[in-house]
Amino acid sequence: MVDLSVSLGRLRLHNPILVASGTFGYAKEMAPLVDFAKLGGVIPKTVTAAPRAGNRPPRTVETASGMLNAIGLDNDGLEHFLAHHLPYLRTLPTAVIGNIAGKTEDEFVQMAARVHAAGHGLAGLELNLSCPNVSGGLDFATDPDVTRRIVRRCRDVCPDLPLVAKLTPNVTDIQRIAAAAADGGADAVSAVNTFVGMAVDWRRRRPVLGNVTGGLSGPAIKPLALRAVWRIAQLRAVPVIGVGGIGTLDDVMDFLVAGASAVQIGTANFYDPTASVRIAAALPGAVAALGADRVAAVVGTLTIPS
């Protein structure tokens, strides 16, 4: 028997396979396809304080190597989430980690306080400090001081809710940002959100996306995300949730060995919606193949030949 449970700070998961925010709706949409009990957890789409219509279309485009999206956090707002989505999410037989994005530092804190007061049933809260597609372009996690401050202030108003800081890869040194999140009191960081990119239609001399730029995701970004996770794991300051291009069991094992304590499956949900549950079912075999009897024992076991 392989023990699949993992602990990231105070966040406890019965297995390390999560589904990433924005790629799994609010879970109900996926119910016909996915046995939620087989997942370590679900992270619903980011919610903002007020409803947002999102960016103008087209909002997604497939490139030769990866998907570009500029959804722009289209959502019905926090109160709608609490009233209409949370009652369903609470019934799921797996951990549900809410995901919020504030427009300002103060708004992050107000939203976190509201979730703490009304979000009974959530296993944790992911702070989306890293959406590249929101006009104003406030990418909080490009600045270590801002990252530390938001995490700390959210921590103060959510004393007993596990907090995960979701980081952007669009920085020079992600280790510094992760260290700041750890310092602010994050239970874990998730790395990474999408890489900013663009697509052009040269015949029309137009950008393909209505927002001009978007975030690149999918298998193309796996090596980049893996390196980010490995760098953060070397800090040994905060558990890491790996995300970026994960779609197979081998991808998951690569991330675990490189230092991720858990992973999120994102874009793969669009082209292979049952990937997450199949990977979770196959995980014990891969862990056992490394001679381990618990998944936590393979985390961060990468050795660099001297």
Ligand X SMILES: Cc1cc2nc3c(=O)[nH]c(=O)nc-3n(C[C@H](O)[C@H](O)[C@H](O)COP(=O)(O)O)c2cc1C
- When asked if residue 246 is in the footprint of ligand X (CB under 6 A), the reply is yes
- When asked if residue 263 is in the footprint of ligand X (CB under 6 A), the reply is no
- When asked if residue 240 is in the footprint of ligand X (CB under 6 A), the reply is no
Of 181, 260, 186, nearest to 222 (Cα)? 260
Among 41, 266, 273, 284, which residue sits at the site for ligand X (rule: CB under 6 A)?
A: 266
Q: Is 218 left (phi over 0), alpha (psi -120 to 50) or beta?
A: left
Q: Which stretch binds ligand X (CB under 6 A): 68-76, 113-121, 175-183, 288-296?
A: 68-76
Distance in angstroms (rounded) separating the CA atoms of residues 281 and 274: 11
- When asked if residue 245 is in the footprint of ligand X (CB under 6 A), the reply is yes
Contact 126, 115 (CB under 8 A): no
- When asked if residue 69 is in the footprint of ligand X (CB under 6 A), the reply is yes
- When asked if residue 99 is in the footprint of ligand X (CB under 6 A), the reply is yes
CB within 8 Å of 247: residues ≥ 6 apart: 218, 219, 265, 267, 268, 271, 272, 275
CA torsion, ordered 235, 97, 1, 32, to nearest 10 deg:
-140
Among 267, 273, 284, 295, which residue sits at the site for ligand X (rule: CB under 6 A)?
A: 267
Cα end-to-end span (Å), the chain: 34
Catalytic residue among 131, 216, 249, 258: 131
Q: Which stretch binds ligand X (CB under 6 A): 25-33, 67-75, 149-157, 230-238?
A: 67-75
Q: Which is nearer to ligand X, 14 or 166 (CB)?
A: 166
Lay out the site mask for ligand X across 7-26 (x = CB under 6 A, - = otherwise): -------------xxxx---
Q: Which residues pair with 41 in a beta bridge?
A: 18, 95
Q: Which is nearer to ligand X, 224 or 296 (CB)?
A: 224
Q: Which is nearer to ligand X, 109 or 167 (CB)?
A: 167
- When asked if residue 112 is in the footprint of ligand X (CB under 6 A), the reply is no
| Of residues 145-174, those binding ligand X (CB under 6 A) | 166
Query: Is 131 among the residues known to form the active site?
Result: yes
Any idea what the Cα angle at residue 210 is, between residues 77 and 84, rounded to 5°? 15
**CA separation, residue 206 to residues 62, 182, 198, 279 (Å):** 16, 42, 11, 40
| Binding region for ligand X (CB under 6 A) | 20-23, 45-46, 67, 69, 71, 73, 99, 128, 166, 193-194, 217-218, 221, 243-246, 265-267
Annotated active-site positions, please? 131
